[in-house]
Amino acid sequence: MTVTTADNTARAKGLTALANPTRFLALVRFVIWPLALATALAFAVGLWMSFSVPDDYQQGRTVRIMFVHVPSVWMAMGAYIVMVSGALGVLVWRHPLADVAARSAAPFGAAFTFLGLVTGSLWGEPMWGTWWVWDARLTSFLVLLIIYLGLIALWSAIEEPARSARLAAIVVLVGAINIPIIKFSVDWFTTLHQTASVVRMDGPALAPEFLYPLLVMALAFLLLFVTLHLAAMRNEILRRQIRTLQRKAARSARGGAA
Amino acid sequence: MTTLFGTKYFFYIAASYGITAAVLLSSIVFVILTHRRHRLRLRKLEESGLRRGGAKS
Amino acid sequence: MIALLKRDIRLALRSGGGAATALLFYLAVVIAMPFAVGPNPELLATIGPATLWVGALLAGLLGLDRLFQADSEDGTLDQMLLSPVALPAQVFVKSLAHWLVTGLPLTLMVPVFAVFLALDGTAVAATMATLLAGTPAISFIGAVGAAVTVTLPRGGLLLSVLVLPLCIPVLIFGVGAVRGAMTEPDPFLPPFLLVAAISLFFAVIGPFAAALALRQSS
Amino acid sequence: MKLVADDIAVMRGEELVFSGISFAVENGGALVIRGENGAGKSTLLRALAGLLPLESGKIEIQNVEPEFGEAKVPELCHYLGAENAMKAAMSVGENLSFWQDFAGQPHHKIDEALELVGLAGLGDLPFGHLSTGQRRRISIARLLVSYRPIWLLDEPTSGLDAESARQFAGLMEAHLADDGIVAAATHIPLGLAAAEEFELTGVAE
């Protein structure tokens, strides 16, 4: 079985060749270790660069938090995009792995959103003097976190993967339609209550020596997400196989149909 | 690099990197552990039940 | 279709129906606030509209999980799925019935509650207007949550987690509009129109998404 | 009119419930679907009614009489499920008149239908106060208040005593005489004169 050297961003979702789980599991086993290596490498370089960069004259040392905050925020949104494409895969193309992809992306999406919130609040604290300020970005990420947790609860609440796939896909899409509305209302809400100093989360136009570490860290986060996502998809497929075997064992224990 | 530790911001930077590392590492560990657990249960089921397709991992 | 609307309203008004409980819950929320915050009128006046809005949102969510679950349990949902009438239209009618029985009465009760919360004329008018425009959105978004959780035993909890984030824009613009009416610099009309726009938007999206979800659970 | 099932297979969740099922029921014909529970009798009826997607094969109505136009299968069927589809808080009359308005094609009047199931005069009694047997007969009355040529019945006589079961058999005979079609899943004999039997053996393991 010749596995084309799929580069790490070629998700299994789109390729119909990978529709059946067995070939997908083989691909994951083939790709997972090089990906893990690349992730570790990217993190090493990223961290080294972010610590060797001089202090930013405006925001003092805390700008280093940006190297962690901004990639988390990007990946939080990236995970939701993965879920939306998974949801479309389920509802439109009925791709068997689409739900597996969407379902395994959700926990990491929630983790990155949580990280975005924590690092954002840590970054702002010196300026604002409090741990939480109803700043537009932080607020919309808080709402995104609730949406993620709701989806994770929905996926685990419904026993049958076939049904939970389509129901979760509907909620993912309705959520996706809502995110711009929420973003718009939160921006309006926060600009109305003008806080003392609005911290510009994505920072002023970044001087190049800040941009490179940021991009490398972002790449590291992306590689990590891809690796974890593929591994989580593998776990999900194994979980479903276990479930099928258990039901088969239960049925044969009942003597089965005539 | 050394000047970094003396400043009052050190706490915030350390905290944010620390929490990020904690969350990311725990996700990695979680994924690996569930993978091992599933493979174990799958092997146990294999002896008794019919193997429903899926690569030998 | 009209029959469905009439039946649903009649059912909700009957003793076991959700309408009475939603109104009582709303009363409880509004009464509790002054006790929690203290009696001084200015403070009450500023948080009055917010209390009425949050109460309306929570009371709306309260009755939603039974919107389809009752029909699913007694077999009526099967008949709805079979009927030649388009399912989204039926969901629209059921959500409308839910709004007529929870959202509307809450709005009409605002002048009564205004007395407890020391609200003046403009505040009452603004709150009623925004609630009238905003509570339908709660019913229509809630219908999606109700349809998704129809087969789950404890669906109510999951429904609130799924629906609450989607209702936040309605809450923000609703209360924002009322504040706009009360304090001079802030605008009343733009947020008010946005609330109405959101309601209309979900009057279309909600029933289709809910119908799709109901089809999955047959 | 002929109700035709052509090599249909249905999945419930991830399990294949049955496959390769084919049969046809003519006007005035009745089909009794037998099989122990779990063999998929209810699933087959729900698939016929269009409540469940078919894994393969197809269900169609052949040579439909012109007066039905090109109505789809679900619009030509009455589906009587295990549940009675009635609201306990509403009276019997309100329930039945709701179903008459909702389903369209009014057939018998409410009181007539109540007569036919032997519950005349219970119109304004809340549905919740009835016994299981009476409730079942009211849900049968629902089939009478609006007209559908095809009756899909899932354990129709559950909870009925011998007398009401006989009465129900009479109603079905009347429906068949009126060129209707009946497909019932049950293991209690329905007492119908001419009824094809169909054994559902479930999936060979």
Chain segment A56-72, per-residue pLDDT in tens: 555 556 677 888 888 99
Q: Among partner residues A162, A251, A258, which is closest to D13 by beta-carbon distance?
A: A162
Q: What is the side-by-side order of every strand in the sheet holding D196-199? A: D77-80, D150-154, D181-185, D30-34, D196-199
Average pLDDT, chain B: 76
Of A85-89, A187-191, D53-57, the range with the highest mean pLDDT is A85-89
Three-state secondary structure of C133-153: HHHHHHHHHHHHHHHHCCCCC
Between C143 and D128, the higher pLDDT residue: C143
Task: Check residue C5 and give its pLDDT.
Answer: 79
CA distance D187 to D161: 15
Tens of pLDDT along C33-92? 888 888 888 888 888 888 899 999 998 888 888 888 888 888 888 888 888 888 999 999
At a CB cut-off of 8 Å and minimum separation 6, what does A205 contact?
none
Task: Judge contact between C131 and C174, C-beta under 8 A.
Answer: yes
Tens of pLDDT along D103-151? 878 888 888 888 888 888 888 888 888 888 888 888 888 888 888 888 8
| Residue A113 in contact with partner chain B when CB distance is under 8 A | no
Residue A159 Rama label (left phi>0; alpha psi -120 to 50; beta)? alpha
The domains found in chain D, sorted by start residue, are 2-199 (3.40.50.300)
Chain D, nearest residue to C70 by Cα: D87
CA distance D79 to D74: 9
When pLDDT is averaged across residues C144-170 and rounded to a whole number, the result is: 89
Q: Strand D56-62 and strand D196-199: pairing?
A: unpaired
For residue A113, pLDDT beyond 50: yes
For chain C, the distance separating the N- and C-terminal CA atoms, rounded to the nearest angstrom, is 21
Task: Check residue B52 and give its pLDDT.
Answer: 55
Interhelix angle for C121-148 vs C87-98, to 10°? 140
Do the chains contact at C73 and D94, CB–CB below 8 Å? no
The residue count for chain D: 205
Q: Among partner residues D51, D87, D94, which is closest to C78 by beta-carbon distance?
A: D51
Q: How far is CA A235 from the centre of its chain?
A: 17
B37 pLDDT tier (thresholds 50, 70, 90): very high
Q: How far is CA D164 from the centre of its chain?
A: 16
Do the chains contact at C79 and D85, CB–CB below 8 Å? yes
Amino acid at C20: A
Which residue, among D20, D58, D47, D63, has the nearest Cα to D154 in the 3D structure?
D47
Strand partners, D32: D184, D197
Which residue, among D172, D154, D159, has the nearest Cα to D37 in the 3D structure?
D154
For residue A205, pLDDT beyond 60: no
Task: Check residue C166 and give its pLDDT.
Answer: 92
Tens of pLDDT along C85-115? 889 999 999 899 889 888 888 888 888 888 8
Task: Please report, for residues A10, A79, A105, B56, the alpha-carbon distance to residue A25 in angstroms, rounded to integers and kept in the order given.
Answer: 15, 21, 17, 9
Question: Residue D27 has what DSSP assignment?
Answer: T
Q: Among partner residues A22, A111, A118, which is closest to B55 by beta-carbon distance?
A: A22
For residue A8, pLDDT beyond 50: no
Task: Judge contact between A249 and B48, C-beta under 8 A.
Answer: yes
Q: Which of B5, B19, B30, B31 to mutate to test the interface with A (most CBs of A within 10 A)?
A: B31
A6 pLDDT tier (thresholds 50, 70, 90): very low
Task: Judge contact between C150 and C69, C-beta under 8 A.
Answer: yes
When pLDDT is averaged across residues A19-48 and rounded to a whole number, the result is: 88
Chains B and A touch (3+ CB pairs under 8 A): yes
Cβ atoms within 10 Å of D174's Cβ, excluding its own: 12
Q: Among partner residues A26, A62, A234, which is closest to B13 by beta-carbon distance?
A: A62
Task: Please report, for residues B42, C55, C106, C124, the alpha-carbon distance to residue C30 in angstroms, rounded to integers and kept in the order given.
Answer: 55, 7, 11, 14
Task: Check residue D202 and give its pLDDT.
Answer: 60
Residues of D in contact with A258 (CB under 8 A): 36, 39, 201-202
Average pLDDT, chain A: 80
Q: Is C40 helix (H, G, I), strand (E, B) or coil?
A: coil
Task: Judge contact between A61 and B16, C-beta under 8 A.
Answer: no
Question: Residue A159 has what DSSP assignment?
Answer: S
Q: Strand D2-12 and strand D15-26: pairing?
A: antiparallel
Q: Which residue is it, tokens 């001089």? A: A54
Task: Check residue C16 and give its pLDDT.
Answer: 57
CA distance D203 to C122: 70
DSSP states along D46-98 = HHHHTSS--SEEEEEEES--GGGTT--GGGGEEEE-SS----TTSBHHHHHHH
| Residue D38 in contact with partner chain A when CB distance is under 8 A | yes
Do the chains contact at A257 and D201, CB–CB below 8 Å? yes
Task: Check residue D190 and give its pLDDT.
Answer: 76
CB pairs under 8 A between C and D: 68
Q: Is A157 helix (H, G, I), strand (E, B) or coil?
A: helix
In sign, the C-alpha dihedral spanning A153, A159, A163, A165 is: positive
Which residue, among D113, D49, D90, has the nearest Cα to C77 in the 3D structure?
D49
| Residue C173 in contact with partner chain A when CB distance is under 8 A | yes
Chain D, nearest residue to A160 by Cα: D13
> What is the percent of chain A where pLDDT is above 90?
34
CA distance D74 to D22: 18
Average pLDDT, chain D: 83
Cβ atoms within 10 Å of A211's Cβ, excluding its own: 12
- Tell me the pTM: 0.84
> Shortest Cα distance from A236 to chain D (angstroms)?
16
At a CB cut-off of 8 Å and minimum separation 6, what does B31 contact?
A228, A231, A232, A235
Do the chains contact at A247 and D201, CB–CB below 8 Å? no
B47 burial level (CB within 10 Å; 0-12, 13-18, 19+): exposed
A254 pLDDT tier (thresholds 50, 70, 90): low
Chain A, nearest residue to C198 by Cα: A181
Task: Give the ranges where chain A is alpha helix by DSSP (H).
Answer: 21-52, 63-91, 98-128, 136-157, 161-192, 208-253
Question: Residue D123 has what DSSP assignment?
Answer: T
When pLDDT is averaged across residues A74-94 and rounded to a whole number, the result is: 92
